[in-house]
Structure 1
Amino acid sequence: MRQLLDHGYCVLPGALTPKTIATLDGDLAPTFAQTPFCQGGFYGARTKRFGRLLARSPRAADLVMHPQILDIATEVLGPWCDCIQLNLTQAIALHPEALPQVPHRDQDMWRGTVGETEYLVNVMWPFTPYREENGTTLIWPDSHGAKALQPNPATDAVPIALDPGDALVFLGSTLHGAGGNRTDTIRRGAIVSYCLGWLKPYENQWLAYPPETARHFPRSLAALLGYRQHRPNLGNYEGQCPSILLDDRQAEPLGAIDALRPDQQALIDAHVATQRRTGR
């Protein structure tokens, strides 16, 4: 946490076993092969990307639900939300001759206040060795938080060397980008990210994992996907927590139930008490 908050990134060596990562890479191999190259200068014309990893391999849950990383994301984002949510899971294959990606901050996908709030925590998981030559993630240390308001970073980019099983954690306010792949091999990996529970996530989780899919996940994972409300009443289904959809119940008329923050509940309780007392 100290490294992450002080410098905008940290590396967790050996966060998962290489065998776990190799199994996930193998599960995703057919999709890597079938997925066309991206279009557009940001995604990269020599890059392949696809999401919905939790529906493609059971091993993806090992990345998403990593206990230490969940603790980190919850602590970083907790001051600005009731609960965090999964922002995306995305597999990435950087092919030979891929150009360096434009330096960017992922928090800029939302037009919120810069320099005061952390909106996002990213985790890069390499499937193959990540090195400067094959386009590893470039990080600009100390470019996060209030320093995101500065027109130019005060530090040079650092190529982060990673091996399968390592995890690179960095803030949504940290300037970063993929390097160019100057080798004749493909650099594969995945990014998992978590954001404030009241934001619109990058990946539409309810379409990626509809109720008939999500009900087979552990409840804690389904909650992270958005099958829970964020107070006050955000993300509800018919006025109730969307977790009711995980019970395989038929659609039926439902009564709305308040899900308020403590300050809002106190205000409502005082209002109701006053109305009852005065008869108005």
Structure 2
Amino acid sequence: MGAFPPPIDPSYIPSVSLTRLPATAPTADIIATLERDGALILVDLVAPQDVAAINAEIEPYIQKARAESHEAYDLIPKQTIMVPGVVGKSPTMARMAELDVIDTLRTRVLQRKCTATWEDRTEDFSIDPLLNSSLTYHISYGGPRQRLHRDDMIHGIYHRGGEYSLSDETMLGFMIAGSKTTRENGATMAIPGSHKWDHARVPRVDEVCFAEMEPGSALVFLGTVYHGAGHNSVPDQVRKIYGLFFIPGTLRPEENQFLAIPRSKVLGMSDKMLSLLGYKKPGTWLGIVNNGDPAENLAEVLGMANS
């Protein structure tokens, strides 16, 4: 993709900002803000003790991730530390993926309710969301900013403009702060309202604002929103972010969850997490193994897959 773009001029003053809501805010208020702006900050989503636990549980994987290439992501600078498969490495992070507010929002935005028509009847069913990826985005000093982009590009989504519907969204992300995030140390740039732009509309850096957060708060945004990681200009500071991204159960996840999470750990995970990883059959016949739901006898199914 070539060289990364230069930092945004420190004298730039955003003309817009991200709405901040407490994580305890009514779901209707959060959804209304997502529909209007495409992004917001949920304050105090994760308790301080859980943030500390996540940081401690992920720390043993940091040095290995720092030394490894993440060549599949050419839009992410090498100074960004990307630990993959975080829900398989941090039990606390796996539990955060099941927080009521996260579960409610991803279901509201990404669950697909469908009707099948047969020759003699109709049948209603639903397909629950999947975990698209769980990663760290820890930006070390000197890390350049990303180009502004939309995450839904991974599924080849084309934006035609016109009337907007939240039900058309194909990704919902939660970027949880594991440290204080500031404009100076690489806070994510975002353009509120850009989720409604058509494909021809090109984002500009003079339209961004910065997702500055205290540890435990989270940037929540749709896959249609233009955003990008910021430049870390603060020596001896690492901007710590833990990302949880979800997609409709009809799409292929970015991170191959069947290989990203050790099978030995999968067997001890909750029914909700098994569903998010794709091990449970939804309302249709997606994901069946031996003509059945693999979650009903997962140990046997995994044993067969390992043979």
Q: TM-score range by the shorter chain?
A: 0.7 to 0.9
- Are 2:190 and 1:157 equivalent residues in the alignment? no
RMSD of aligned alpha carbons: 2.2
Aligned residues: 251
Kept after mapping to 2: 8 A contact 1:73/1:194: yes
Quote how far apart the aligned CAs of 1:246 are: 2.3
How does 1:51-66 map onto structure 2 within 5 Å?
A: 51-66=84-99
- Are 2:82 and 1:49 equivalent residues in the alignment? yes
1:76 aligned partner, one-letter code: V
Comparing 154-163 with 213-222, which one deviates more in the overlay?
154-163
1:74 to 102, 107, 117: 107
> Which residue number corresponds to residue 255 of structure 2?
203
Quote how far apart the aligned CAs of 1:251 are: 4.4
**Aligned residues with identical type, % of pairs:** 24
Change in 2 beyond 3 A, CA 1:38/1:180: farther
Quote how far apart the aligned CAs of 1:38 are: 3.9
Quote how far apart the aligned CAs of 1:163 are: 1.1
SS, match of residue 231 in structure 2: coil
SS, match of residue 240 in structure 2: strand
Kept after mapping to 1: 8 A contact 2:43/2:217: yes
Partner deviation per Cα, 1:189-214 (whole Å, 9 max, x = no partner):
21101101011101111112354321
How does 1:3-152 map onto structure 2 within 5 Å?
A: 3-35=33-65, 36=67, 38-39=69-70, 41-79=74-112, 82-115=127-160, 117-145=168-196, 147-152=197-202
- TM-score calculated relative to the size of structure 1: 0.83
2:173 aligned partner, one-letter code: N
Kept after mapping to 1: 8 A contact 2:129/2:276: yes
1:169 to 201, 220, 231: 220
Partner deviation per Cα, 1:25-52 (whole Å, 9 max, x = no partner):
0111121122225455412121110212
2:131 aligned partner, one-letter code: L
Quote how far apart the aligned CAs of 1:79 are: 4.4
> Which residue number corresponds to residue 243 of structure 1?
295
Unpaired segments ≥5 residues, structure 1 = 253-280
The whole-number CA distance in structure 2 between the counterparts of 1:165 and 1:27 is: 16
SS, match of residue 28 in structure 1: helix
The whole-number CA distance in structure 1 between the counterparts of 2:189 and 2:108 is: 25
Partner deviation per Cα, 1:206-258 (whole Å, 9 max, x = no partner):
11235432120111211111111245422221221121342546649xxxxxx
SS, match of residue 50 in structure 2: helix
- TM-score calculated relative to the size of structure 2: 0.76
Higher RCO (Cα < 8 Å, 6 or more apart): 2
The whole-number CA distance in structure 1 between the counterparts of 2:143 and 2:184 is: 11
The whole-number CA distance in structure 2 between the counterparts of 1:38 and 1:48 is: 9
The whole-number CA distance in structure 2 between the counterparts of 1:45 and 1:212 is: 31
The whole-number CA distance in structure 2 between the counterparts of 1:209 and 1:122 is: 19
Kept after mapping to 2: 8 A contact 1:38/1:49: no
SS, match of residue 127 in structure 2: coil
Unpaired segments ≥5 residues, structure 2 = 1-30, 114-125
The whole-number CA distance in structure 1 between the counterparts of 2:266 and 2:99 is: 18
Kept after mapping to 2: 8 A contact 1:119/1:172: yes
Kept after mapping to 2: 8 A contact 1:130/1:187: yes
Change in 2 beyond 3 A, CA 1:195/1:42: same
> Which residue number corresponds to residue 215 of structure 1?
267
1:143 aligned partner, one-letter code: S
Comparing 227-236 with 63-72, which one deviates more in the overlay?
227-236
SS, match of residue 20 in structure 1: helix
1:77 aligned partner, one-letter code: L
